[in-house]
């Protein structure tokens, strides 16, 4: 399949008659393109003196995850989401986790699938999912498809989440604000020089966009990436906190996110000690809710009542327990209203009886690097697959469903002393187990060897 086939006319551009070029106005780059020339993102280009989008509906496979994957802690805790990722990006970060699909020159067509808006909605409905997330590679360059599908989601009472570095102009952002329910925005740094050097972008448009979302009243949470040897000395954390307090308010969650070496930047992973120090700086500055991301450790991401310190939501990685809130989002201990939206909105899990006959199983060991994985079904067109996960040493057993059309689900370590899982499936359908190194990471299947070394 040639992913460039069947382009559509893009939005947000104009023809520059004096230059005989088209100017893209989607992101602040404003690429001016001659006939046959592509923009910086490589998924929008000039054809016949019109700006075309080549990636409408062109995606990486949909994945079942939880909302915390997207650095959203104050909306629908524990809710399952359908994560949708595009190809291409309007930035080029040196430490990109998903460079095989975000940087088009590295793209392999085997990693591309095609969805219509209707098919995305059908996947969500069939799998009983209430939230669709636009994520992984940045959805800014997927603008037309995101808008069309999100409008259809509204008609089907499905919420949408936008996880983005937000390098976008104000007019297209206004269109998104009309149809998106939840925004999770990733800051690379509070240093414009770092933006220009490391991400090939600028800081000011990102901050402007965050303020635009905040002023709209839509649900907003902000992430700050903490990168070893670039912005890990605490200065960035302080600047971010001070900017948020001045331009947003103290109750907007700030997620300090650990970096993992990838692509062209190979410094060591952000240490827990570095993240804890950055969190202390942000809290001291006045941020009320500061969480750590990409960390599998106790007591770094829980939400507590600001009045009585009762634990409201207990989080370990992507394992979530809403332990101290009633359905009105009030603290069960003192009655104080919490900032959590829809604390009980995730559907109550029914105890189901499965006709489960195990046809294959794998033992997977967690280690200091690997605490999460994507389980990938080679042929998603076959029957529903039931997965049985037995956690060790607790021996707790959980079941997960993958219905026809879905090929991926994320599985993660659930508590600090968990050492491994025994993963069983009621199908002989070939399974691949791909390590997830960062919660924004979408691992691609490169070789069977890469997959099988995690399936013992």
Band the pLDDT of 369: cuts 50, 70, 90. Answer: confident
As to burial, measured by CB atoms within 10 angstroms (0-12 exposed, 13-18 middle, 19+ buried), residue 113 is middle
In this prediction, residue 347 carries a pLDDT of 43
Is the pLDDT at 451 greater than 50, yes or no?
no
Lowest mean pLDDT among 64-78, 149-163, 196-210, 342-356: 342-356
In this prediction, residue 25 carries a pLDDT of 98
**347-376 CB burial, b ≥16 within 10 A, e <16:** eeeeeeeeeeeeeeebebebeeeebbbbbb
- pTM for the whole structure: 0.94
| Higher-scoring residue by pLDDT: 296, 118 | 118
DSSP state of 338: P
Question: For all residues of the chain together, what is the average pLDDT?
Answer: 92
In this prediction, residue 1 carries a pLDDT of 65
Is the pLDDT at 260 greater than 50, yes or no?
yes
Strands 113-114 and 131-135: unpaired
pLDDT, mean of residues 178-204: 96
pLDDT, mean of residues 387-412: 91
Band the pLDDT of 448: cuts 50, 70, 90. Answer: very low
Is the pLDDT at 257 greater than 60, yes or no?
yes
* Contact (Cβ atoms closer than 8 angstroms) between residue 33 and residue 22: yes
Lowest mean pLDDT among 35-49, 210-224, 233-247, 339-353: 339-353
DSSP state of 194: H
As to burial, measured by CB atoms within 10 angstroms (0-12 exposed, 13-18 middle, 19+ buried), residue 434 is buried
Total residue length of the chain: 456
Lowest mean pLDDT among 130-139, 267-276, 347-356: 347-356
In this prediction, residue 37 carries a pLDDT of 97
pLDDT, mean of residues 401-429: 91
For residues 398 and 389, give the distance between their C-alpha atoms in angstroms, rounded to a whole number: 5
Band the pLDDT of 446: cuts 50, 70, 90. Answer: low
Lowest mean pLDDT among 21-35, 102-116, 205-219: 102-116
In this prediction, residue 352 carries a pLDDT of 67
Query: How remote is the C-alpha of 429 from its chain's centroid?
Result: 27
Is the pLDDT at 362 greater than 80, yes or no?
yes
pLDDT, mean of residues 395-404: 88
In this prediction, residue 297 carries a pLDDT of 87
In this prediction, residue 285 carries a pLDDT of 97
């Amino acid at each position: 399949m040639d992913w460039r086939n069947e382009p559509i006319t893009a939005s947000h551009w104009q023809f520059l008659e004096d230059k005989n070029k088209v100017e893209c106005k989607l992101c602040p780059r404003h690429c001016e393109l001659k006939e046959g020339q592509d923009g910086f993102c490589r998924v929008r280009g000039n054809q016949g003196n019109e700006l075309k989008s080549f990636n409408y509906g062109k995606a990486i496979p949909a994945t079942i995850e939880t909302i915390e994957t997207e650095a959203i802690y104050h909306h629908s805790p524990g809710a399952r989401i359908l994560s949708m990722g595009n190809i291409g990006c309007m930035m080029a970060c040196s430490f990109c986790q998903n460079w095989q699909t975000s940087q088009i020159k590295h793209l392999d067509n085997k990693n591309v699938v095609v969805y219509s808006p209707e098919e995305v909605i059908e996947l969500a409905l069939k799998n009983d999912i209430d939230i669709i997330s636009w994520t992984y590679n940045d959805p800014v360059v997927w603008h037309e498809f995101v808008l069309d599908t999100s409008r259809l989601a509204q008609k089907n009472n499905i919420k949408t989440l936008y996880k983005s570095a937000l390098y976008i102009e104000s007019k297209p952002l206004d269109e998104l604000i009309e149809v998106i329910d939840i925004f999770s925005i990733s800051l690379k740094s509070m240093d414009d020089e770092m933006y220009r050097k490391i991400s090939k972008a600028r800081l000011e448009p990102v901050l402007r966009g965050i303020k635009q979302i905040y002023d709209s009243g839509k649900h907003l949470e902000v992430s700050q990436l903490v990168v070893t040897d670039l912005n890990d000395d605490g200065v960035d954390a302080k600047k971010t906190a001070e900017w948020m307090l001045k331009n947003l308010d103290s109750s907007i969650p700030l997620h300090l996110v650990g970096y993992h070496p990838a692509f062209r930047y190979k410094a060591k992973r952000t240490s827990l000690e570095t993240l804890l120090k950055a969190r202390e700086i942000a809290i001291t500055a006045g941020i009320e809710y500061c969480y750590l991301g990409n960390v599998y450790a106790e007591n770094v991401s829980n939400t507590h009542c600001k009045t009585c310190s009762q634990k409201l939501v207990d989080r370990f990685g992507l394992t979530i327990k809403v332990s101290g809130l009633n359905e009105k989002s009030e603290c069960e201990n003192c009655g104080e209203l919490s900032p959590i939206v829809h604390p009980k909105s995730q559907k109550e899990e029914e105890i189901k009886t499965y006709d489960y006959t195990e046809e294959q199983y794998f033992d997977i060991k967690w280690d200091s690097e690997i605490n999460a994985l994507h389980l990938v079904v080679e042929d998603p067109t076959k029957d529903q697959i039931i997965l049985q996960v037995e956690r060790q040493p607790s021996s707790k057993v959980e079941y997960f469903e993958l219905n026809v059309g879905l090929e991926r689900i994320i599985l993660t370590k659930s508590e600090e002393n968990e050492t491994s899982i025994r993963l069983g499936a009621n199908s002989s359908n070939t399974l691949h187990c791909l390590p997830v190194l960062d919660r924004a990471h979408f691992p691609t299947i490169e070789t069977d060897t890469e997959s099988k070394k995690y399936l013992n």
